[in-house]
Chain A
Amino acid sequence: MAHLPLEIINLEKSFGTGFLNLKKVKPVKGISFEVKEGEIFGLLGPNGAGKTTTLKMITGLIFPDAGTISIFGKSSLSASSRKRIGFLPENPWFYEYLTAREFLKMTGGIFSIPSSEIRQRTDSLLERLGIAHAADTQMRKFSKGMLQRAGLAQAIINNPDFIILDEPLSGLDPIGRKDVRQLIIDLKKEGKTILFSSHILSDVEDVCDSVVILNSGLIKQKGRLSDLTATSAGTVEIQTQGPEMKLSDFPEKLRDSIQIESISRGTRLIFTEENANKNEILSFLIDAGQNIDKVFKHNRSLEDIFMENSSESKQQEN
């Protein structure tokens, strides 16, 4: 049976702070989720939600207090579980005295990749990430965007099946963000599984198949992005062509549920499916001699879901 790229069960982590580490903070309070093969999975949440702590536990940099993490069926506590993964830490620091080529040679060597193959992969990755021109420049002279690209190159030097990226888009300019987003999509097309954390929601929405929304160390929402954004509270917009309509033209029971406005060749109606029946309104409009031009369903955006969960958590904390 093929194992999942990532399976997390009841994961908990606390840290000691203050004098003699006596005060405890718990950034991760028992979370469970799984990442399926071939998907782009987003780990979302505001600052301090527990995203980075979770990713560090997955990559063996810190150890869980409780719970288990399996990477392709192997415990994350074993170094061998990291053979098939690539990892880009948040705001990565580099050995700045190394050139990009030396850096990739070092990381390739860690995976015991033969030298000739490292050379080949290094050239191709530097080209792919647009930093081939700086291959032999010490990384202390790199811009933030170039460093992020070098970080991405080291994360995929071993041709991993599962790629973990912690805030890969932070600090990048719009072109850099577009390039990285495209790289993530391309990697998915190559059959890779990608887990990435971010608080830039529009980027996540563009590329993710599934998400987990974390807040205060707990999972607030998880599932396929399409399911999460489609569930309830969708807003429907209907545009008609025909004689201009007023609210008083509608049956009384619908008047409180819809908003209408004139547009160039007809009328626009906006309502939520919770408050009004779309089919009933469409029938009424057709009977009233209107031509139905367009019907849109505006799903909840990821930002709506994110904000709802963030405000819920704040209310609970207060």
Chain B
Amino acid sequence: MGAILSISINTFREAIRNKIFYALAFFALLIIVTGHFFADISLHNEKRVLWDIGSGLISFFALALSIFTSASIIHKEIDKKTIYLVLSKPVERWKFIAGKTLGLLATVYSVITAMLLIFIVEMLLTGVSPGVNIFKAFILIMGEVLLVVSVSILFSSFSSPFITGMMTIGAVFIGRMLPDLKQILFMKYEHDFWRNLAESLLQVFPQLYLFIPNGHDFNGYHVSITTDFVTWGFIGWSMVYTLTYSCVILAIASLILSKRDLT
């Protein structure tokens, strides 16, 4: 555990000492403060607008920070050869991946928790009760961050930061649009074989739509953060999914790194 903890603390330090990260985090906090201006100009929909904007912005910046901080995470260590100082010690390569992942999660979770706290204060000042749904939405966002960070670390274990960033953004788009893509493919292919094949292939992508249920239909009912939000059971299963998927993805990343010569 000592190695994983040390690597994760170092990863956290690296992120929070990065000026670009600061700029992004500051911008995220600033923009959430402006949420109530949009609420003010809405007609009797202040609560819904504030909730939608707040949760949407937290989700957006969580993804942006996840991709920004994780795209170069492994490649940079190899490129700058700092990885030599770690892996020449009694550290299995999976521990390096685990430490990096935990450090990144701590970084992104810190920023989005700060965003959430500001958002709650903003709601209270505007006279809107935070309610339990905002916490449910926050837990789902945390799950989505774990998935995106894991996918990005997998790509980072064998490709450059630019390619990793592009592939992760692609995976996020596909993951968020999976229900629509399924429908399109079902309309396009009539034969069961092709439909099953297409569905199986889509299963490989992270099912990110599960983590932004607000405004979508699930099991026949419309989910809204201001009224009927998802149940705790749904959140529980989403977390089981995100943990399982992330563990598999990170195991593959560890396997790739463990076979790699660090020249």
Contact = CB atoms under 8 A, between A and B. Distances in A.
Interface of A: 15, 56, 59-63, 79-83, 85, 87, 89, 92-95, 97-98, 102, 105-107, 109-113, 151, 154, 158
A92 B10 contact: no
Contact of B6 (A63, A81, A92, A109): A109
Interface of B: 1-3, 5-7, 9-10, 13-14, 17-18, 80-82, 84-92, 261-263
Nearest to B87: A61
A63 B89 CA distance: 15
22 contacts: A15-B261, A59-B88, A61-B84, A61-B88, A61-B261, A61-B262, A62-B262, A63-B261, A80-B90, A82-B88, A82-B89, A85-B88, A89-B81, A93-B84, A94-B82, A95-B10, A106-B6, A106-B7, A110-B86, A111-B2, A112-B2, A112-B3
Contacts of A106: 6-7, 9-10
Contacts of A89: 81, 84-85, 88
A92 B18 CA distance: 21
A87 B10 CA distance: 19
A110 B89 contact: yes
A199 B5 CA distance: 38
Contacts of B6: 105-107, 109-110
Contacts of A98: 10, 13
A45 B3 CA distance: 35
A63 B84 CA distance: 14
Instruction: Name the residue among A56, A60, A63, A154 with the largest chain B CB count within 10 angstroms.
Output: A60
Closest 6 CB pairs of A and B: A112-B2, A109-B6, A59-B88, A62-B261, A87-B88, A97-B17
A59 B7 CA distance: 19
B82 A95 contact: yes
B90 A56 contact: no
B87 A60 contact: yes
A164 to B, nearest CB: 8
Contact of A60 (B7, B9, B85, B88): B88
Contacts of B81: 89, 92-93
Given A60-B88, A61-B88, 15 more contacts: A56-B262, A61-B261, A63-B261, A82-B88, A87-B89, A89-B81, A92-B81, A95-B82, A97-B13, A97-B18, A98-B13, A105-B6, A106-B10, A109-B3, A110-B6
Contacts of B9: 106, 109
Contacts of B5: 109
Contacts of B263: 15, 56, 62
A130 to B, nearest CB: 20
Contacts of A105: 6
Nearest to A158: B89
Contacts of B7: 106, 110
A107 B14 contact: no
A113 to B, nearest CB: 8
A105 B9 CA distance: 11
B212 to A, nearest CB: 34
A42 B262 CA distance: 23
Contacts of B89: 82, 87, 107, 110-111, 158
Contacts of A79: 90-92
A111 B3 CA distance: 7
Contacts of B2: 109-113
Contacts of A92: 81, 84-85
Contact of B14 (A95, A110, A112, A154): A95
Instruction: Name the residue among B9, B10, B18, B90 with the largest chain A CB count within 10 angstroms.
Output: B90
A269 B1 CA distance: 69
A98 B3 CA distance: 17
A275 to B, nearest CB: 49
Contacts of A93: 80-82, 84-85
B262 to A, nearest CB: 4
A298 B139 CA distance: 78
A73 to B, nearest CB: 15
Nearest to A59: B88
A5 to B, nearest CB: 16
A110 B6 CA distance: 6
A106 B86 CA distance: 9
Contacts of A102: 13
Nearest to A15: B263
Contacts of B10: 95, 98, 106
A102 B14 CA distance: 12
Contacts of B90: 79-83, 110-111
A196 to B, nearest CB: 14
A126 B262 CA distance: 29
Nearest to B83: A61
A112 B261 CA distance: 26
A97 B261 contact: no
